[in-house]
């Protein structure tokens, strides 16, 4: 005790605070930074176009792109394009995701499916779906079929891989626990394996939603009168770069909305984390 007193009273050399060496390596989102970067970039871009060091051939001014967008709103074409695209995205993506979860579950659970389908999935996943477009046209026709199929195929494979990856990572002890309590196979799949794989399935959904939007332009190459992708393609072939930028901005907006929706789904379904 007396030792402790003496220690606090007077060391030989003068006391100084311990140097701080912690902190850092923990990037945190700062809400205001993103909008500032965004606005600054657009302002610079607009300025460049007005002053003239960005030629209209290289990039149209953001204001021109915005005009093109407002034109879409005024003529009401925006809703036609959005409705057509969203319908394709929704049908293609949800069918691709559901089928993907189903096949991914088969691969995750059954040796026969795993040996038979996994190599197939690995072989077909990297094939650019746009290369298969002519075949899709012959198989599914030039109507909605081939468009939905393109998106479906594009989203199916990443979902399969995310699903069986998620199932592989489900804690085997939880499955043993289920067996030890005599749970039926179906109960184990429904109540232990699928919920356990859900985080991986949802992050797969994030990726497949982005892929669906990427594929939208390809899907709408074939006989699409309306659709954001068709609008972009037409703008490209007409060299109407203002419309092109407006269309691309619309795509990234759709991407943001999808990402937000899946984020909400994650918040809801994974609130236990």
Partner 1 sequence: MNSMTRRSFKKAVIGSALALATLGASSLPAFAADKITVGALRFTSHAPSFVAYEKGYFTDEGLEVEFKFFQAAQPMAVAIASGDVDFGITAISGGLINLAEKGAVKVIGGGLQEEPGVNGQVILASKGAYDDGLTDPSKLKGRSFGITQAGSSFHYMAAKIAEKEGFSTADMKLVPLQKVGAIIGALKSGQVDAWSIVPHIGIPLAKGDAVVQIGMVADYIPDYQVTTVFTSTKNAEEKPDLVKRFLAAFSKGADDFNAALVDKTEGEDGANAMITLIHKYVYADQPIEKAAPSIQNGAMRMNKGAALNMTNITDQLDWFKAEGLVSKDIAIETLVNTSYVETF
Partner 2 sequence: MDLNLRHISHHYDEVEVLRDINLDIRRGQIVCLIGPSGCGKSTLLRLIGGLERPTGGEVLQSGEVPEGCLNPLTYIFQDFALLPWRTVEANVSLVLEDHDLSAAAREAIIADVLARTKLADFRKAYPRQLSGGMKQRVAIARALSVRPAVLLMDEPLSALDSQTRELLMDDLVDLWEKEQYTAAYVTHNLNEAVRLGHRIVVLSRRPGEIREIVEIDMPLSDRRSDNSELEAIQKRLWNLMREEALAADRELLDV
Q: Under the criterion CB under 8 A, does residue 264 sit at the interface with partner 2?
A: no
Q: Please state the closest distance from residue 177 (CB atom) to partner 2, in A.
A: 4
Applying the rule CB under 8 A, the residues between 22 and 81 that interact with partner 1 are 56-57
- Tell me if 20 contacts partner 2 by CB under 8 A: no
Site for partner 2 in 151-190 (CB under 8 A): 171, 173-174, 176-184, 187
Which tokens belong to 179? 């067996």
What residues numbered 142-201 form the site for partner 1, per CB under 8 A? 142
Identity of the residue, 123 or 239, whose beta carbon is nearer to partner 1 in the bound complex:
239
Question: Binding to partner 1 by residue 251, rule CB under 8 A?
Answer: no
Alpha helices in 125-240 (DSSP H): 133-140, 144-168, 172-180, 185-187, 194-219, 228-237
Verify binding: residue 215, partner 1, rule CB under 8 A. Answer: no
Smallest CA-to-CA distance from 113 within 177, 170, 61, 167 is with 167
- Least distance to partner 2, CB of residue 201, Å: 13
- Contact present, 209 and 259 (Cβ < 8 Å): yes
The reply on whether position 268 binds partner 2 by CB under 8 A is: no
Pairwise CA distance, residues 103 & 147, whole Å: 22
d(CA 220, CA 113): 33
Residues 6+ apart with CB under 8 A from 65: 242, 243, 245, 246, 249
Binding-site ranges for partner 1 (CB under 8 A): 56-57, 133-134, 137-138, 141-142, 221-225, 230, 233-234, 236-240
């Amino acid at each position: 005790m007396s030792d402790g007193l003496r220690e606090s009273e007077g060391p030989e050399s003068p006391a100084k605070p311990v140097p701080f060496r912690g902190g850092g390596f923990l990037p945190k989102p700062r809400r205001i930074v993103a909008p500032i970067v965004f606005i600054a970039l657009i302002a610079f871009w607009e300025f460049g176009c007005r002053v003239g060091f960005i030629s209209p051939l290289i990039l149209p001014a953001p204001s021109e792109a915005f005009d093109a967008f407002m034109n879409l709103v005024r003529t009401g074409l925006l809703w036609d394009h959005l409705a057509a695209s969203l319908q394709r995205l929704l049908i293609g993506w949800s069918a691709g995701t559901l089928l993907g979860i189903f096949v991914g579950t088969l691969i995750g659970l059954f040796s026969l499916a795993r040996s038979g389908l996994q190599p197939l999935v690995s072989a077909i996943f990297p094939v650019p779906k746009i290369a298969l477009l002519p075949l899709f046209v012959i198989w599914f026709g030039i109507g909605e079929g081939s468009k939905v199929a393109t998106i479906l195929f594009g989203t199916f494979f990443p979902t399969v891989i995310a699903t069986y990856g998620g199932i592989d990572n489900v804690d085997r002890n939880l499955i043993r626990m289920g067996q030890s309590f005599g749970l039926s196979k179906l109960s184990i799949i429904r109540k232990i394996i699928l919920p356990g794989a859900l985080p991986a399935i949802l992050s797969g959904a994030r990726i497949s939603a982005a892929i669906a939007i990427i594929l939208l332009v390809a899907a709408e190459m074939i006989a699409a009168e309306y659709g954001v992708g068709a609008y972009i393609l037409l703008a490209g072939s007409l060299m109407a770069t203002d419309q092109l930028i407006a269309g691309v901005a619309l795509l990234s907006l759709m991407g943001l909305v999808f990402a937000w929706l899946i984020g909400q789904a994650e918040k809801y379904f994974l609130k236990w984390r």
